[in-house]
Structure 1
Protein backbone atom coordinates (compact mmCIF):
# COMPACT_ATOMS: atom_id res chain seq x y z
CA UNK A 1 0.00 0.00 0.00
CA UNK A 2 1.72 3.15 -1.24
CA UNK A 3 1.03 6.38 0.61
CA UNK A 4 2.79 9.74 0.64
CA UNK A 5 2.32 13.41 1.50
CA UNK A 6 -1.29 14.58 1.87
CA UNK A 7 -2.73 18.08 2.18
CA UNK A 8 -6.29 18.35 3.53
CA UNK A 9 -8.15 21.67 3.62
CA UNK A 10 -10.75 22.49 6.26
CA UNK A 11 -9.28 19.94 8.68
CA UNK A 12 -10.06 21.59 12.01
CA UNK A 13 -13.29 19.59 12.50
CA UNK A 14 -15.89 17.38 10.84
CA UNK A 15 -15.15 15.62 7.55
CA UNK A 16 -11.78 17.30 7.12
CA UNK A 17 -10.51 16.29 10.54
CA UNK A 18 -11.81 12.72 10.19
CA UNK A 19 -10.20 12.45 6.75
CA UNK A 20 -6.84 13.78 7.95
CA UNK A 21 -6.88 11.33 10.87
CA UNK A 22 -7.79 8.38 8.63
CA UNK A 23 -5.09 9.20 6.09
CA UNK A 24 -2.51 9.55 8.87
CA UNK A 25 -3.54 6.18 10.29
CA UNK A 26 -3.12 4.65 6.82
CA UNK A 27 0.45 5.90 6.62
CA UNK A 28 0.23 9.30 4.95
CA UNK A 29 2.20 12.24 6.27
CA UNK A 30 -0.72 14.65 6.59
CA UNK A 31 -0.87 18.42 6.69
CA UNK A 32 -4.31 19.72 7.61
CA UNK A 33 -5.30 23.32 7.14
CA UNK A 34 -7.67 25.80 8.73
CA UNK A 35 -8.20 29.53 8.47
CA UNK A 36 -7.39 29.66 12.19
CA UNK A 37 -4.21 27.58 11.89
CA UNK A 38 -3.18 25.10 14.58
CA UNK A 39 -5.63 24.63 17.45
CA UNK A 40 -4.91 23.37 20.93
CA UNK A 41 -4.96 19.61 21.46
CA UNK A 42 -3.15 16.53 20.20
CA UNK A 43 -3.54 15.53 16.56
CA UNK A 44 -2.25 12.74 14.36
CA UNK A 45 -1.37 15.35 11.72
CA UNK A 46 0.18 18.79 11.51
CA UNK A 47 -1.90 21.94 10.98
CA UNK A 48 -1.12 24.93 8.78
CA UNK A 49 -2.97 28.23 8.42
CA UNK A 50 -4.77 28.52 5.08
CA UNK A 51 -7.63 30.61 3.73
CA UNK A 52 -8.78 29.09 0.43
CA UNK A 53 -10.30 32.43 -0.63
CA UNK A 54 -6.82 34.02 -0.71
CA UNK A 55 -4.36 33.18 -3.49
CA UNK A 56 -1.48 34.42 -1.33
CA UNK A 57 -2.54 32.16 1.56
CA UNK A 58 -2.96 29.15 -0.76
CA UNK A 59 0.44 29.67 -2.35
CA UNK A 60 2.11 30.11 1.06
CA UNK A 61 0.65 26.87 2.46
CA UNK A 62 1.54 24.80 -0.61
CA UNK A 63 5.03 26.31 -0.64
CA UNK A 64 5.48 25.38 3.04
CA UNK A 65 4.50 21.73 2.48
CA UNK A 66 6.88 21.55 -0.48
CA UNK A 67 9.65 23.12 1.61
CA UNK A 68 9.13 20.55 4.35
CA UNK A 69 8.52 17.45 2.22
CA UNK A 70 9.50 18.24 -1.37
CA UNK A 71 6.27 16.84 -2.83
CA UNK A 72 2.49 16.59 -2.50
CA UNK A 73 0.94 13.27 -3.46
CA UNK A 74 -2.65 13.85 -2.40
CA UNK A 75 -4.77 16.99 -2.15
CA UNK A 76 -8.15 16.70 -0.45
CA UNK A 77 -10.28 19.80 -1.05
CA UNK A 78 -12.75 19.82 1.82
CA UNK A 79 -13.01 23.46 2.99
CA UNK A 80 -16.52 24.83 2.53
CA UNK A 81 -19.64 26.24 4.13
CA UNK A 82 -23.34 26.49 3.46
CA UNK A 83 -26.24 28.87 3.85
CA UNK A 84 -28.76 27.55 6.36
CA UNK A 85 -31.83 26.19 4.57
CA UNK A 86 -33.47 29.20 2.96
CA UNK A 87 -35.05 30.20 -0.33
CA UNK A 88 -32.69 31.19 -3.12
CA UNK A 89 -34.31 34.62 -3.21
CA UNK A 90 -33.26 35.21 0.41
CA UNK A 91 -29.54 35.41 -0.42
CA UNK A 92 -27.98 38.49 -1.99
CA UNK A 93 -25.52 38.33 -4.86
CA UNK A 94 -22.77 39.12 -2.36
CA UNK A 95 -23.73 36.05 -0.34
CA UNK A 96 -23.87 33.92 -3.50
CA UNK A 97 -20.39 35.11 -4.45
CA UNK A 98 -19.08 34.34 -0.96
CA UNK A 99 -20.20 30.71 -0.97
CA UNK A 100 -18.84 30.16 -4.48
CA UNK A 101 -15.56 31.83 -3.50
CA UNK A 102 -14.97 29.19 -0.82
CA UNK A 103 -16.76 26.07 -2.06
CA UNK A 104 -15.79 26.28 -5.73
CA UNK A 105 -13.10 28.87 -6.38
CA UNK A 106 -11.27 27.65 -3.27
CA UNK A 107 -10.90 24.28 -5.01
CA UNK A 108 -9.75 25.99 -8.20
CA UNK A 109 -7.09 27.96 -6.29
CA UNK A 110 -5.81 24.88 -4.47
CA UNK A 111 -5.75 22.81 -7.65
CA UNK A 112 -3.87 25.46 -9.60
CA UNK A 113 -1.32 25.69 -6.79
CA UNK A 114 -0.50 21.97 -6.59
CA UNK A 115 -0.79 20.91 -10.23
CA UNK A 116 2.58 22.23 -11.45
CA UNK A 117 4.30 20.12 -8.79
CA UNK A 118 2.20 17.02 -9.45
CA UNK A 119 2.89 17.34 -13.17
CA UNK A 120 6.60 17.67 -12.49
CA UNK A 121 6.63 14.52 -10.33
CA UNK A 122 4.39 12.69 -12.83
CA UNK A 123 1.84 11.55 -10.25
CA UNK A 124 -0.80 12.75 -7.81
CA UNK A 125 -4.36 12.48 -6.61
CA UNK A 126 -6.86 15.29 -6.13
CA UNK A 127 -10.01 14.41 -4.21
CA UNK A 128 -12.79 16.98 -3.94
CA UNK A 129 -15.51 16.72 -1.32
CA UNK A 130 -18.79 17.25 -3.13
CA UNK A 131 -22.29 16.25 -2.07
CA UNK A 132 -25.32 14.33 -3.28
CA UNK A 133 -26.65 17.84 -3.86
CA UNK A 134 -24.18 17.91 -6.74
CA UNK A 135 -26.45 15.52 -8.64
CA UNK A 136 -29.76 15.84 -6.77
CA UNK A 137 -30.58 19.50 -6.00
CA UNK A 138 -32.46 20.24 -2.82
CA UNK A 139 -35.02 23.02 -2.44
CA UNK A 140 -34.02 25.68 0.08
CA UNK A 141 -30.35 24.79 -0.50
CA UNK A 142 -30.04 26.26 -3.99
CA UNK A 143 -26.71 28.04 -3.62
CA UNK A 144 -25.01 25.13 -1.88
CA UNK A 145 -26.40 22.74 -4.50
CA UNK A 146 -25.10 25.02 -7.25
CA UNK A 147 -21.57 25.03 -5.78
CA UNK A 148 -21.55 21.24 -5.54
CA UNK A 149 -22.77 20.88 -9.15
CA UNK A 150 -19.85 23.12 -10.12
CA UNK A 151 -17.43 20.98 -8.10
CA UNK A 152 -18.66 17.79 -9.79
CA UNK A 153 -18.39 19.23 -13.30
CA UNK A 154 -14.96 20.71 -12.65
CA UNK A 155 -13.68 17.45 -11.13
CA UNK A 156 -14.82 15.28 -14.03
CA UNK A 157 -13.39 17.63 -16.65
CA UNK A 158 -10.11 17.95 -14.78
CA UNK A 159 -9.70 14.19 -14.46
CA UNK A 160 -9.95 13.76 -18.23
CA UNK A 161 -7.31 16.45 -18.74
CA UNK A 162 -4.79 15.03 -16.26
CA UNK A 163 -4.92 11.25 -16.69
CA UNK A 164 -2.10 11.13 -19.24
CA UNK A 165 0.12 12.97 -16.74
CA UNK A 166 -0.28 10.36 -14.00
CA UNK A 167 -2.75 12.49 -12.00
CA UNK A 168 -6.28 11.43 -11.15
CA UNK A 169 -9.22 13.42 -9.79
CA UNK A 170 -12.26 12.11 -7.91
CA UNK A 171 -15.25 13.72 -6.22
CA UNK A 172 -16.75 12.23 -3.05
CA UNK A 173 -20.50 12.75 -2.64
CA UNK A 174 -21.97 12.15 0.84
CA UNK A 175 -25.56 12.75 1.88
CA UNK A 176 -26.41 14.09 5.35
CA UNK A 177 -23.40 13.76 7.66
CA UNK A 178 -23.52 14.40 11.40
CA UNK A 179 -20.82 17.05 11.88
CA UNK A 180 -20.53 20.58 13.30
CA UNK A 181 -20.91 21.78 9.67
CA UNK A 182 -24.30 23.34 10.36
CA UNK A 183 -22.71 25.44 13.11
CA UNK A 184 -20.89 27.27 10.31
CA UNK A 185 -24.03 27.85 8.25
CA UNK A 186 -24.39 31.42 7.06
CA UNK A 187 -27.84 32.86 7.70
CA UNK A 188 -29.64 34.21 4.62
CA UNK A 189 -28.88 37.92 4.41
CA UNK A 190 -32.21 39.07 2.93
CA UNK A 191 -34.84 36.91 4.73
CA UNK A 192 -38.38 37.38 3.43
CA UNK A 193 -41.66 36.91 5.27
CA UNK A 194 -43.08 35.00 2.32
CA UNK A 195 -40.75 32.07 3.08
CA UNK A 196 -40.62 32.28 6.88
CA UNK A 197 -42.91 29.35 7.72
CA UNK A 198 -41.58 26.91 5.14
CA UNK A 199 -37.97 27.94 5.88
CA UNK A 200 -38.53 27.11 9.54
CA UNK A 201 -40.15 23.76 8.68
CA UNK A 202 -37.33 22.73 6.32
CA UNK A 203 -34.72 23.72 8.91
CA UNK A 204 -36.47 21.56 11.49
CA UNK A 205 -36.66 18.60 9.10
CA UNK A 206 -32.98 18.86 8.14
CA UNK A 207 -31.93 18.93 11.80
CA UNK A 208 -34.02 15.80 12.45
CA UNK A 209 -32.34 13.91 9.61
CA UNK A 210 -28.81 15.05 10.51
CA UNK A 211 -29.28 13.75 14.07
CA UNK A 212 -29.60 10.20 12.74
CA UNK A 213 -27.02 10.53 9.96
CA UNK A 214 -23.68 8.80 9.49
CA UNK A 215 -20.60 10.34 11.08
CA UNK A 216 -17.75 11.90 9.09
CA UNK A 217 -15.74 8.68 9.30
CA UNK A 218 -17.89 7.30 6.45
CA UNK A 219 -16.58 10.04 4.18
CA UNK A 220 -13.02 9.60 5.44
CA UNK A 221 -13.06 5.89 4.54
CA UNK A 222 -14.32 6.72 1.05
CA UNK A 223 -11.56 9.31 0.58
CA UNK A 224 -8.98 6.69 1.54
CA UNK A 225 -10.52 4.20 -0.88
CA UNK A 226 -10.30 6.72 -3.73
CA UNK A 227 -6.77 7.75 -2.76
CA UNK A 228 -5.44 4.18 -2.82
CA UNK A 229 -7.44 2.78 -5.75
CA UNK A 230 -5.30 1.55 -8.64
CA UNK A 231 -8.02 2.77 -10.98
CA UNK A 232 -10.00 5.42 -9.11
CA UNK A 233 -13.54 6.27 -10.14
CA UNK A 234 -14.57 9.77 -11.08
CA UNK A 235 -17.37 9.87 -8.50
CA UNK A 236 -17.87 8.03 -5.20
CA UNK A 237 -20.93 8.16 -2.98
CA UNK A 238 -20.22 7.96 0.75
CA UNK A 239 -22.69 6.08 2.95
CA UNK A 240 -25.82 4.05 2.34
CA UNK A 241 -28.21 6.97 1.88
CA UNK A 242 -25.97 8.61 -0.71
CA UNK A 243 -25.75 5.35 -2.66
CA UNK A 244 -29.53 4.95 -2.63
CA UNK A 245 -30.03 8.52 -3.80
CA UNK A 246 -27.57 7.99 -6.66
CA UNK A 247 -29.54 4.94 -7.81
CA UNK A 248 -32.81 6.82 -7.44
CA UNK A 249 -31.52 9.72 -9.52
CA UNK A 250 -30.21 7.38 -12.19
CA UNK A 251 -33.07 4.96 -12.60
CA UNK A 252 -36.28 6.41 -11.16
CA UNK A 253 -38.64 8.53 -13.29
CA UNK A 254 -38.18 12.26 -12.79
CA UNK A 255 -41.68 12.65 -11.39
CA UNK A 256 -41.03 10.02 -8.71
CA UNK A 257 -37.78 11.70 -7.67
CA UNK A 258 -39.48 15.10 -7.57
CA UNK A 259 -42.33 13.81 -5.43
CA UNK A 260 -39.94 12.00 -3.11
CA UNK A 261 -37.92 15.15 -2.43
CA UNK A 262 -41.02 17.16 -1.61
CA UNK A 263 -42.47 14.42 0.57
CA UNK A 264 -39.24 14.04 2.55
CA UNK A 265 -39.05 17.77 3.24
CA UNK A 266 -42.80 17.90 3.88
CA UNK A 267 -43.42 20.52 1.23
CA UNK A 268 -47.03 20.98 0.08
CA UNK A 269 -48.10 20.50 -3.57
Structure 2
Protein backbone atom coordinates (compact mmCIF):
# COMPACT_ATOMS: atom_id res chain seq x y z
CA UNK A 1 0.00 0.00 0.00
CA UNK A 2 1.11 3.59 -0.53
CA UNK A 3 1.37 6.35 2.09
CA UNK A 4 -2.34 7.14 1.68
CA UNK A 5 -3.31 3.62 2.71
CA UNK A 6 -4.59 2.94 -0.78
CA UNK A 7 -3.00 0.73 -3.40
CA UNK A 8 -1.50 0.81 -6.85
CA UNK A 9 -3.95 0.94 -9.76
CA UNK A 10 -3.40 0.20 -13.44
CA UNK A 11 -6.06 1.63 -15.78
CA UNK A 12 -6.04 0.76 -19.49
CA UNK A 13 -7.33 3.17 -22.11
CA UNK A 14 -6.77 6.16 -19.83
CA UNK A 15 -6.03 8.86 -22.41
CA UNK A 16 -9.66 10.02 -22.56
CA UNK A 17 -13.25 9.26 -21.62
CA UNK A 18 -14.11 6.71 -18.95
CA UNK A 19 -10.50 5.58 -18.56
CA UNK A 20 -9.16 9.07 -17.98
CA UNK A 21 -11.99 9.96 -15.57
CA UNK A 22 -11.44 6.72 -13.66
CA UNK A 23 -7.69 7.23 -13.36
CA UNK A 24 -8.25 10.79 -12.12
CA UNK A 25 -10.91 9.67 -9.63
CA UNK A 26 -8.71 6.88 -8.24
CA UNK A 27 -5.74 9.25 -7.93
CA UNK A 28 -7.86 11.76 -5.98
CA UNK A 29 -8.96 8.92 -3.68
CA UNK A 30 -5.33 8.19 -2.85
CA UNK A 31 -4.33 5.45 -5.29
CA UNK A 32 -0.99 5.50 -7.05
CA UNK A 33 -2.28 5.32 -10.62
CA UNK A 34 -0.67 4.24 -13.87
CA UNK A 35 -2.79 4.89 -16.94
CA UNK A 36 -2.13 3.46 -20.38
CA UNK A 37 -2.75 4.28 -24.02
CA UNK A 38 -1.63 2.75 -27.31
CA UNK A 39 0.38 5.83 -28.22
CA UNK A 40 2.71 7.87 -26.05
CA UNK A 41 0.64 10.52 -24.28
CA UNK A 42 1.77 14.16 -24.46
CA UNK A 43 2.94 15.80 -21.25
CA UNK A 44 0.00 17.10 -19.21
CA UNK A 45 -1.16 18.05 -15.74
CA UNK A 46 -2.68 14.63 -15.06
CA UNK A 47 -2.63 13.31 -11.52
CA UNK A 48 -1.31 9.98 -12.78
CA UNK A 49 1.47 8.63 -14.97
CA UNK A 50 0.88 7.29 -18.47
CA UNK A 51 2.48 4.20 -19.99
CA UNK A 52 2.38 2.97 -23.57
CA UNK A 53 0.38 -0.25 -23.86
CA UNK A 54 -1.30 -2.11 -26.71
CA UNK A 55 -3.70 -4.66 -25.20
CA UNK A 56 -3.63 -6.70 -28.42
CA UNK A 57 0.12 -7.34 -28.07
CA UNK A 58 1.37 -9.91 -25.55
CA UNK A 59 4.84 -8.36 -25.31
CA UNK A 60 3.42 -4.87 -24.80
CA UNK A 61 1.13 -6.13 -22.04
CA UNK A 62 3.99 -7.92 -20.30
CA UNK A 63 6.27 -4.90 -20.57
CA UNK A 64 3.70 -2.47 -19.12
CA UNK A 65 2.79 -4.72 -16.21
CA UNK A 66 6.50 -5.36 -15.59
CA UNK A 67 7.15 -1.60 -15.54
CA UNK A 68 4.46 -1.02 -12.93
CA UNK A 69 5.87 -3.83 -10.79
CA UNK A 70 9.40 -2.45 -11.14
CA UNK A 71 8.36 1.04 -10.13
CA UNK A 72 5.61 0.37 -7.57
CA UNK A 73 6.29 -3.18 -6.42
CA UNK A 74 2.67 -4.29 -6.56
CA UNK A 75 -0.64 -3.98 -8.42
CA UNK A 76 -3.72 -3.81 -6.21
CA UNK A 77 -6.28 -2.81 -8.81
CA UNK A 78 -6.56 -3.45 -12.54
CA UNK A 79 -9.25 -1.55 -14.43
CA UNK A 80 -9.74 -3.02 -17.90
CA UNK A 81 -11.22 -0.14 -19.87
CA UNK A 82 -9.39 -0.17 -23.23
CA UNK A 83 -11.68 -0.89 -26.16
CA UNK A 84 -13.46 0.66 -29.10
CA UNK A 85 -17.02 1.01 -30.28
CA UNK A 86 -18.53 -0.19 -33.52
CA UNK A 87 -20.83 2.03 -35.56
CA UNK A 88 -24.37 0.64 -35.89
CA UNK A 89 -24.38 -2.06 -38.57
CA UNK A 90 -25.86 -5.46 -39.30
CA UNK A 91 -24.07 -8.43 -37.77
CA UNK A 92 -23.12 -9.73 -41.22
CA UNK A 93 -21.70 -6.39 -42.35
CA UNK A 94 -18.27 -7.07 -40.82
CA UNK A 95 -15.72 -9.40 -42.36
CA UNK A 96 -14.36 -12.23 -40.22
CA UNK A 97 -11.06 -10.34 -40.02
CA UNK A 98 -12.88 -7.32 -38.59
CA UNK A 99 -14.78 -9.48 -36.10
CA UNK A 100 -11.48 -10.94 -34.93
CA UNK A 101 -10.05 -7.43 -34.56
CA UNK A 102 -12.99 -6.29 -32.45
CA UNK A 103 -12.69 -9.28 -30.13
CA UNK A 104 -8.91 -9.00 -29.99
CA UNK A 105 -9.16 -5.57 -28.37
CA UNK A 106 -12.46 -5.57 -26.50
CA UNK A 107 -12.35 -9.08 -25.06
CA UNK A 108 -8.94 -10.69 -25.51
CA UNK A 109 -7.35 -7.44 -24.30
CA UNK A 110 -9.13 -8.02 -20.98
CA UNK A 111 -7.91 -11.62 -20.89
CA UNK A 112 -4.30 -10.65 -21.65
CA UNK A 113 -4.23 -7.98 -18.97
CA UNK A 114 -5.86 -10.26 -16.42
CA UNK A 115 -3.42 -13.09 -17.09
CA UNK A 116 -0.53 -10.66 -16.69
CA UNK A 117 -1.56 -9.30 -13.27
CA UNK A 118 -2.99 -12.41 -11.62
CA UNK A 119 0.37 -13.97 -10.64
CA UNK A 120 1.38 -10.72 -8.89
CA UNK A 121 -1.96 -10.39 -7.10
CA UNK A 122 -1.78 -14.03 -6.05
CA UNK A 123 1.66 -13.52 -4.49
CA UNK A 124 0.28 -10.48 -2.63
CA UNK A 125 -2.72 -12.47 -1.48
CA UNK A 126 -5.03 -9.69 -2.61
CA UNK A 127 -6.23 -7.73 -5.62
CA UNK A 128 -9.20 -6.33 -7.48
CA UNK A 129 -9.94 -6.60 -11.19
CA UNK A 130 -12.67 -4.33 -12.53
CA UNK A 131 -13.80 -4.73 -16.12
CA UNK A 132 -15.69 -1.98 -17.91
CA UNK A 133 -18.62 -3.73 -19.51
CA UNK A 134 -21.90 -2.25 -20.69
CA UNK A 135 -25.64 -2.60 -20.28
CA UNK A 136 -25.31 -4.18 -23.74
CA UNK A 137 -23.65 -7.07 -21.94
CA UNK A 138 -27.06 -8.09 -20.58
CA UNK A 139 -29.38 -6.30 -23.01
CA UNK A 140 -28.27 -6.76 -26.63
CA UNK A 141 -28.94 -3.94 -29.08
CA UNK A 142 -29.95 -4.53 -32.70
CA UNK A 143 -27.29 -3.36 -35.13
CA UNK A 144 -24.69 -3.71 -32.41
CA UNK A 145 -24.29 -7.49 -32.37
CA UNK A 146 -20.51 -7.68 -32.43
CA UNK A 147 -19.92 -5.04 -29.78
CA UNK A 148 -22.65 -6.63 -27.65
CA UNK A 149 -20.99 -10.02 -28.09
CA UNK A 150 -17.70 -8.70 -26.68
CA UNK A 151 -19.52 -7.28 -23.67
CA UNK A 152 -21.43 -10.53 -23.13
CA UNK A 153 -18.08 -12.33 -23.23
CA UNK A 154 -16.69 -9.99 -20.58
CA UNK A 155 -19.71 -10.66 -18.35
CA UNK A 156 -19.30 -14.43 -18.54
CA UNK A 157 -15.53 -14.36 -18.20
CA UNK A 158 -15.65 -12.03 -15.21
CA UNK A 159 -18.26 -13.97 -13.27
CA UNK A 160 -16.47 -17.29 -13.78
CA UNK A 161 -13.11 -15.78 -12.91
CA UNK A 162 -14.44 -14.21 -9.72
CA UNK A 163 -15.37 -17.65 -8.42
CA UNK A 164 -11.99 -19.09 -9.42
CA UNK A 165 -9.76 -16.50 -7.73
CA UNK A 166 -11.85 -15.52 -4.73
CA UNK A 167 -10.08 -17.95 -2.40
CA UNK A 168 -6.77 -16.35 -3.46
CA UNK A 169 -7.87 -12.98 -2.07
CA UNK A 170 -8.78 -11.58 -5.50
CA UNK A 171 -12.19 -10.31 -6.59
CA UNK A 172 -13.56 -9.46 -10.03
CA UNK A 173 -16.40 -7.05 -10.88
CA UNK A 174 -18.00 -5.65 -14.02
CA UNK A 175 -19.17 -2.04 -14.34
CA UNK A 176 -22.19 -1.67 -16.64
CA UNK A 177 -22.68 1.88 -17.95
CA UNK A 178 -25.36 2.84 -20.45
CA UNK A 179 -24.69 5.61 -22.97
CA UNK A 180 -21.69 7.64 -21.82
CA UNK A 181 -20.54 10.94 -23.32
CA UNK A 182 -16.94 10.33 -24.41
CA UNK A 183 -14.77 10.66 -27.54
CA UNK A 184 -15.35 6.89 -27.81
CA UNK A 185 -18.37 7.40 -30.09
CA UNK A 186 -16.45 9.80 -32.34
CA UNK A 187 -14.07 6.97 -33.22
CA UNK A 188 -16.59 4.23 -33.96
CA UNK A 189 -15.25 1.49 -36.22
CA UNK A 190 -17.26 1.39 -39.44
CA UNK A 191 -18.34 -2.00 -40.78
CA UNK A 192 -16.11 -3.11 -43.64
CA UNK A 193 -18.64 -5.22 -45.59
CA UNK A 194 -21.78 -3.08 -45.76
CA UNK A 195 -24.87 -4.47 -47.49
CA UNK A 196 -27.59 -2.39 -49.11
CA UNK A 197 -30.31 -4.48 -47.42
CA UNK A 198 -29.36 -2.88 -44.08
CA UNK A 199 -28.85 0.66 -45.36
CA UNK A 200 -32.13 2.18 -44.16
CA UNK A 201 -32.19 0.45 -40.79
CA UNK A 202 -28.54 1.32 -40.21
CA UNK A 203 -29.32 4.99 -40.85
CA UNK A 204 -32.33 4.97 -38.52
CA UNK A 205 -30.42 3.36 -35.65
CA UNK A 206 -27.40 5.61 -36.17
CA UNK A 207 -29.58 8.71 -35.97
CA UNK A 208 -31.18 7.49 -32.75
CA UNK A 209 -27.83 6.57 -31.16
CA UNK A 210 -26.37 9.98 -32.04
CA UNK A 211 -29.36 11.72 -30.45
CA UNK A 212 -29.06 9.72 -27.24
CA UNK A 213 -25.29 10.21 -27.04
CA UNK A 214 -25.80 13.98 -27.03
CA UNK A 215 -27.51 13.69 -23.62
CA UNK A 216 -25.50 10.75 -22.28
CA UNK A 217 -24.04 10.23 -18.79
CA UNK A 218 -20.74 11.96 -18.02
CA UNK A 219 -17.66 9.71 -17.58
CA UNK A 220 -17.18 10.70 -13.92
CA UNK A 221 -20.42 8.85 -13.09
CA UNK A 222 -18.77 5.62 -14.21
CA UNK A 223 -15.52 6.52 -12.45
CA UNK A 224 -17.36 6.93 -9.13
CA UNK A 225 -18.81 3.43 -9.48
CA UNK A 226 -15.37 1.99 -10.26
CA UNK A 227 -14.05 3.46 -7.00
CA UNK A 228 -17.06 2.13 -5.12
CA UNK A 229 -16.37 -1.38 -6.43
CA UNK A 230 -12.64 -1.05 -5.77
CA UNK A 231 -13.00 -0.26 -2.06
CA UNK A 232 -16.08 -2.37 -1.25
CA UNK A 233 -15.48 -4.86 1.55
CA UNK A 234 -17.82 -7.30 -0.17
CA UNK A 235 -17.77 -6.33 -3.86
CA UNK A 236 -20.65 -7.22 -6.12
CA UNK A 237 -20.06 -8.98 -9.41
CA UNK A 238 -22.02 -6.34 -11.35
CA UNK A 239 -22.45 -2.60 -10.86
CA UNK A 240 -24.77 -0.58 -13.13
CA UNK A 241 -23.48 2.97 -13.60
CA UNK A 242 -25.99 5.78 -13.94
CA UNK A 243 -29.75 6.08 -13.73
CA UNK A 244 -30.52 4.59 -17.14
CA UNK A 245 -28.28 1.60 -16.47
CA UNK A 246 -30.10 0.91 -13.18
CA UNK A 247 -33.50 1.13 -14.90
CA UNK A 248 -32.44 -1.19 -17.71
CA UNK A 249 -31.04 -3.72 -15.27
CA UNK A 250 -34.31 -3.69 -13.36
CA UNK A 251 -36.40 -4.01 -16.54
CA UNK A 252 -34.27 -6.83 -17.89
CA UNK A 253 -34.79 -8.75 -14.67
CA UNK A 254 -38.52 -8.15 -14.20
CA UNK A 255 -40.21 -7.18 -17.46
CA UNK A 256 -41.64 -9.86 -19.79
CA UNK A 257 -39.36 -10.63 -22.73
CA UNK A 258 -42.06 -9.61 -25.22
CA UNK A 259 -42.37 -6.19 -23.56
CA UNK A 260 -38.61 -5.61 -23.67
CA UNK A 261 -38.52 -6.72 -27.30
CA UNK A 262 -41.27 -4.29 -28.29
CA UNK A 263 -39.81 -1.42 -26.27
CA UNK A 264 -36.36 -1.88 -27.79
CA UNK A 265 -37.69 -1.88 -31.33
CA UNK A 266 -39.85 1.16 -30.62
CA UNK A 267 -36.98 3.12 -29.07
CA UNK A 268 -34.72 2.43 -32.06
CA UNK A 269 -37.62 3.03 -34.48
CA UNK A 270 -36.94 -0.27 -36.22
CA UNK A 271 -40.58 -0.84 -37.14
CA UNK A 272 -40.47 2.30 -39.31
CA UNK A 273 -38.00 0.58 -41.64
CA UNK A 274 -39.71 -0.80 -44.78
CA UNK A 275 -39.85 -4.57 -45.13
CA UNK A 276 -37.63 -6.21 -47.71
CA UNK A 277 -39.27 -8.35 -50.38
CA UNK A 278 -38.42 -11.54 -48.48
CA UNK A 279 -39.91 -10.04 -45.31
CA UNK A 280 -43.13 -9.20 -47.12
CA UNK A 281 -43.30 -12.72 -48.50
CA UNK A 282 -42.81 -14.19 -45.04
CA UNK A 283 -45.71 -12.13 -43.64
CA UNK A 284 -48.00 -13.28 -46.44
CA UNK A 285 -47.43 -16.96 -45.68
Scaled by the length of structure 2, the TM-score of the pair is 0.93
* Distance (Å, rounded) in 1 between the aligned partners of 2:5 and 2:172: 17
Counterpart of 1:203 (choices 202, 206, 221) is 206
1:193 partnered with 2:228: no
Offset from partner CA, 1:37-76 (integer Å, 9 cap, x none) = 2223211100000000000000000000000010000000
Residue 39 of structure 2 aligns with which residue? 36
| SS at 1:51 equivalent | coil
CA contact (8 A) 1:125 1:168 kept: yes
Residue segments in structure 2 that go unaligned for 5+ positions in a row = 273-285
Residue 134 of structure 1 aligns with which residue? 137
* Distance (Å, rounded) in 2 between the aligned partners of 1:41 and 1:177: 24
Shift of 1:253: 0.2
| SS at 1:268 equivalent | helix
Residue 14 of structure 2 aligns with which residue? 11
Offset from partner CA, 1:63-90 (integer Å, 9 cap, x none) = 0000001000000000001210111111
Q: Which has the larger radius of gyration?
A: 2
* Number of aligned residues: 269
Residue 177 of structure 1 aligns with which residue? 180
Residue segments in structure 1 that go unaligned for 5+ positions in a row = none
Shift of 1:184: 1.9
Residue 149 of structure 1 aligns with which residue? 152
Shift of 1:241: 0.1
Scaled by the length of structure 1, the TM-score of the pair is 0.99
* Distance (Å, rounded) in 1 between the aligned partners of 2:169 and 2:44: 37
Q: What value does the CA root-mean-square deviation take over the aligned residues? A: 0.9
CA contact (8 A) 1:2 1:228 kept: no
Shift of 1:2: 4.3
